[in-house]
Structure 1
Amino acid sequence: MNVLLAGLATLSGLRDRQAMDFTLVKLMLSTELWQFSSVKLLRAVGPLNDQHWLTLAQCTCSQAEPTHDQVWLDISALPTLSDFPKREAAIVTESVQRSLTAPFVTVFPINTQASVCSVLEVLSDQALSADLLPHIDSVLRLYENLQSLLDYGEKDSLTELLNRKTFDSAFWRAAQAQETIQMVPETERRQPNQEVSYFLAVIDIDHFKHVNDNFGHLIGDEVLLLLARQMRASFRFHDQLYRFGGEEFVVLMRCSSHADAQAALERFRTHIAEHDFPQVNHITISIGFTPLNLNDTPSGAFDRADKAVYYAKEHGRNQVCSYTELVASGALQAPADDTEEVDFF
């Protein structure tokens, strides 16, 4: 019991999601109340009609530290929900699922983000006794509550996208990953001719003031909410989506090339232009984007993308503009300290 209480105290003090996930699976393996040979924390990701299992954390008794799936991987390579019926049943029924023969598999549903989208799967040599289930459930409810507190602090209250204060830490993680990618020799990459890079896009609703003036702020808020929903439906599950305030949104994404990033943003722009918004009917958006540079900063990357979106709005709106291409064409002037940075695309 002392190990469990100490682990819960550690868990409650964490503010990083990955650290929280790792601590949870380690706690489940280390407590003296039960004996598990392995623990997995998984999330169902992707479109509702084609979801796959992403491993957030997994550990066995023989492992020193947990491991996890890389969030940027191709989800089509992950197992589908139907590949693991007990996991799927735990999500659908919101109840614990147990196997009847050894090795015993027990799957616990976890309520996060106002829905059951995650499970904890434990493997044991003996069936779990009924009196242990409430203890495990209590640990998971604490984890759920801590996740909810993180959501409350990290998400915009209207759109439920990430808010601006969470952007810097995500940017530094992406910048570090970008640097790691560039350090890998081209001959050792899985796709030698393809340079994966991170891109920052700023999305601004055209003439949004007219929406508020003509239809009222309640309708304006509905437009923001619906746009956020379209963003979640259009971009990949691992793309970081933010509302920076007002009608300004930000996407931190990873693509195989500059052309792929531009194509994805162009598809979203076209989709929004064709989408029917209640009462307002149609709106358009302007988008500016830039690749992350070597030794980049959050403010530097945002400033470049913001200049590109400003150019788009000053030159007709309803278009996607690349900062890199604008500088190359002479339409924008790069700052003097920008010339030493290298774009990877």
Structure 2
Amino acid sequence: MKPILQNLVEMTGHRDHLRLEVSVLSTLLKLGHIVQVRALEFFVQDQVTMLRPRSWSQDGQIVSSAHDACSDPQGVPLTQLPGLAQCIESRQASAQHSATGRHTLWLPVWLADRAHACLEITQSRALTRHQRDVVMGVFLVYQNYQSLLDYSERDALTGLFNRKTFEEQFARQAGARPDAAQGDDPPRQWLAVIDIDHFKAVNDRFGHLYGDEVLILVANRLRSLFRSQDRIFRFGGEEFVVLLRSVTLAQARQALERLRAAIQEHTFPQVGHITISIGFAATQAGSPVEILGRADQALYHAKENGRNRVCFYDDLLHSGALQAKVAHDEVELF
């Protein structure tokens, strides 16, 4: 029992979801008779729920995938694991499957009323009552700590990621940037900055209660119109940021124009109709400060030229509407 307690202490010392995941898999791997442990990630592709291994045991060590979920060839439809699919649909705490010499236990990880991942434990023998109790105890500590980490990363009003998590998420996406792709419009990563037009007037006229409701409803539209592998942040006030993963420029434009039109057409309680302005830039070249600055420049151009528009930084640069700013290493993002 002492080694397990030591592992739990180490596990709860992490402040990063991936490191915490690796730590809990390492803890479970030491429990005996375990053939393999994996952390499976759920994502949606072409309206089909998929899953893929995000971290797993290999030669007694835990390794993690460097691929984005949306492009990982290891992704398979959830329907290929009917026991797990039924567990998720009926919101059960666990599911099991036994075959000759292999016994698998699935433990879905629920955050914000949604199963976003699953721990998979495969043993050479069926779990005893005692083993199951130990595994469930370790898992519940892990899930509770995941929830605490998730809460610290979220904006209290909208439930979106908050600004302090942006740098970590952006760095992780930048670290997975693909090699130069061929073609006129290859899939890339994009950063979009979104600002509600005349939001101060909404607060002044209708009060902050209705202003907060507008922010919540805009956040809900962002969730519904972007994919699970994209990342959405509230930067504070009426500003939002979206990291779009592995889409072409045409697809990025289409997604952002769809958002702009959806907000324009939506009727907000008491307030009526509002609009948003959007600026976006590619992320494959430059530091986070530079890339965010480019998207901000495009946003300000949209707001200064009529609002309710989507502007792409490179378009403005090539047309002469903007000029590239000189980057300085000493600039820091606050």
TM-score (norm 2): 0.88
- Report the more deviating stretch, 39-48 or 281-290: 39-48
1:126-154 deviation per Cα after TM superposition (whole angstroms, max 9, x unaligned): 11012222211111111112111211221
Q: Which residue of 2 aligns with 1:95?
A: 93
Say how many residue pairs are matched: 326
> What aligned pairs does 1:11-26 form with structure 2 within 5 A after superposition?
11-26=11-26
Match for residue 274 of structure 1 among 237, 254, 265: 265
Paired position in structure 1 for 2:332: none
2:123 alignment counterpart: 124
Question: Is the contact made by 1:18 and 1:56 (CA closer than 8 Å) also made in structure 2?
Answer: no
The code of the aligned residue for 2:250 comes to A
Cα drift, residue 277 of structure 1: 2.4
Shift of 1:243: 0.4
Query: SS in structure 1 opposite 2:70?
Result: coil
> Cα offset for 1:246?
0.5
Deviations 1:156-192 (A, max 9, x none): 11111111111122222333333x624xxx6xxxx66
What residue in structure 2 maps to residue 342 of structure 1?
none
Residues 246 and 47 from structure 1, CA distance in 2 versus in 1: closer, same or farther, beyond 3 angstroms? Answer: farther
Query: Is 2:67 the partner of 1:70?
Result: yes
Distance in 2, Cα, partners of 1:100 & 1:329: 63
Task: Determine if contact 2:36/2:57 at 8 Å carries over to the other structure.
Answer: yes
One of 215, 232, 238 as aligned partner of 1:241: 232
CA distance in 2 between partners of 1:332 and 1:279 (Å):
38
Relative distance call for 1:54 and 1:222 in structure 2 (3 A) is farther
2:302 counterpart SS class: helix
User: Does the CA contact (< 8 Å) of 2:232 and 2:242 recur in 1?
Assistant: yes
Contact 1:87 1:119 (8 Å CA) reproduced: no
Contact 2:26 2:61 (8 Å CA) reproduced:
no
CA contact (8 A) 1:57 1:66 kept: yes
The equivalences for 1:223-234 within 5 A come to 223-234=214-225
**3-state secondary structure, aligned to 2:48:** coil
> Which structure 2 residue ranges, 5 or more long, are not aligned?
329-334
1:61-93: per-residue Cα shift (whole Å, max 9, x none)? x35332337234248983222221221232224
Distance, in Å, in 2 between the alignment partners of 1:115 and 1:73 is 19
Report the CA distance between 1:330 and its aligned residue: 1.1
Is the 1:90–1:96 Cα contact (8 Å) retained in structure 2? yes
Structure 1 residue 25, shift from structure 2 partner? 1.6
Corresponding residue of 2:53: 55
**Which letter does structure 1 place at the counterpart of 2:17?**
R
Question: Could you tell which deviates more after superposition, 86-95 or 137-146?
Answer: 86-95
Structure 2 residue aligned with 1:290: 281
Gaps of at least 5 residues in structure 1 are: 339-345
**Deviation by residue 1:250-286 (Cα, 9 ceiling, x = unmatched):** 1122344333322221121112222232332322110
- Matched position secondary structure for 1:131: helix
Instruction: Give how far 1:57 is off.
Output: 1.7
How far is 1:3 from its partner?
Answer: 2.8
Matches within 5 A, 1:1-345: 1-31=1-31, 34-46=32-44, 50-60=48-58, 62-68=59-65, 70-74=67-71, 78-91=75-88, 92-102=90-100, 103-178=102-177, 181-182=179-180, 195-292=186-283, 294=285, 296-337=286-327
RMSD: 2.5
Q: Find the aligned partners of 1:210 and 1:280 in 2 and give their Cα distance.
A: 10
Shift of 1:39: 1.3
Check conservation: 1:111, 1:118, Cα contact below 8 A. Answer: yes
Greater share of strand: 2
- If the length of structure 1 is used for normalisation, what is the TM-score? 0.86
Could you say if the C-alpha distance between residues 337 and 57 of structure 1 is closer, same or farther in structure 2, counting changes exceeding 3 Å?
A: closer
Q: Deviations over 1:15-46 (max 9, x none)?
A: 12112212222221123xx3210112223333
Retained in 1: the 8 A contact 2:192–2:278? yes
**SS of 2:145 mapped into structure 1:** helix
Deviations 1:275-321 (CA, angstroms, capped at 9, x unpaired): 23233232211000111253x22222222211211111111111101
State, as a whole percentage, how many aligned pairs show the same letter: 38
Residue 38 to residue 192, structure 1, CA distance change in 2 (3 Å): farther
Equivalence for 1:343? none
**SS in structure 1 opposite 2:167?**
helix
Letter of the structure 2 residue corresponding to residue 98 of structure 1: Q
